[in-house]
Structure 1
């Protein structure tokens, strides 16, 4: 599988993992040490070939993603669920620990983030579907992020992420139906 866009990753190990999974070029941010020179490379890459931001599914990875979005808003975003990015012993999380097939799936599901959120899904919907204010809310949000390929967010950020990706009410409701069906099956 060949990827046209340039993939932005955190480090060398991520580049190795990407190249095991797909044929692609990468730009490494050197972790959170991302500087103006790297931002300029990402801007150029976005203009010439397009960019997919593929950072680790953890706090530092999200921080890097936000820093890039501020300077280069026209990027696609790929996400890996935390459980697919865990080191075998479970101590570390990162793209470099993911299986090639999981990396390919994440890249296939890459989305363009819209900067103007749509009022499609409301906070009341999140309460109704028990994505906030419920003991199992975190688990549901993790599953929702996986199904919709938008990554995991906390309760405060979920609505913004759904709106930024312009997830339709219908798509949201289908995903929630799937989650509740799985909960009934798994008891």
Structure 2
């Protein structure tokens, strides 16, 4: 059983997570997270720890951000968009048990204080921003690093808050370049 409580968006996500692993979940009920849900997440964080596993879309990122701001120290798991999409629908409920297990095996902890290990110039040089193929390169690198896809500014922030080292960054960059991105 996974020690931490996994925060998901809805009932179908809970079903998908329970097919993949033995874990307890808290459902946010979508992006309208109420005060009682935040209280339950805070209590779970204090007692067992929390892993946020939301959909890899705008609404999922919004939920993740709201929880992170109100409940410090959460862990984050990311399912790549390609692994969470079925018939044009994006969501944790569409991910295979293996994709969910992989995401949970690559959990990252958010740190309040962190020095930027990777700077903005590194992102430019790596073609992750200000590059014709920047979005695809960020998506590939985010999947390799297990931090998900986002815009350039948010990607830079995630590299810092999850303390991605220069070595991890360089290894992922080499991998995406080998893939021709």
Q: CA deviation at 1:116?
A: 1.7
Q: Which residue is 1:151 aligned to?
A: 148
Q: Which residue is 1:80 aligned to?
A: 79
Structure 1 segments, 4+ long, off by >4 Å, are none
Alignment partners' CA distance in 2, 1:148 and 1:17: 23
Q: Secondary structure at the match of 2:89?
A: coil
Root-mean-square deviation (Å) = 0.9
Per-residue displacement from partner, 1:9-43 (whole Å, max 9, x unpaired)?
Answer: 00000000000000000000000111000000000
Q: Is the 8 A contact 1:15 1:28 kept in 2?
A: yes
Per-residue displacement from partner, 1:126-177 (whole Å, max 9, x unpaired)?
Answer: 1101111111111110011111100111112111110010001111011101
Matches within 5 A, 1:59-74: 59-74=58-73
Q: Which residue is 2:123 aligned to?
A: 126
Q: Is the 8 A contact 1:117 1:160 kept in 2?
A: no
5+ residue gaps, structure 1, are: none
Q: Which residue is 1:39 aligned to?
A: 38
5+ residue gaps, structure 2, are: none
Q: Is the 8 A contact 1:147 1:175 kept in 2?
A: yes
Q: Secondary structure at the match of 1:33?
A: coil
TM-score of the two chains, using structure 1 as the length reference: 0.95
What is the aligned counterpart of 1:165 among 150, 155, 162? Answer: 162
Alignment partners' CA distance in 1, 2:70 and 2:126: 34
Q: CA deviation at 1:117?
A: 2.8
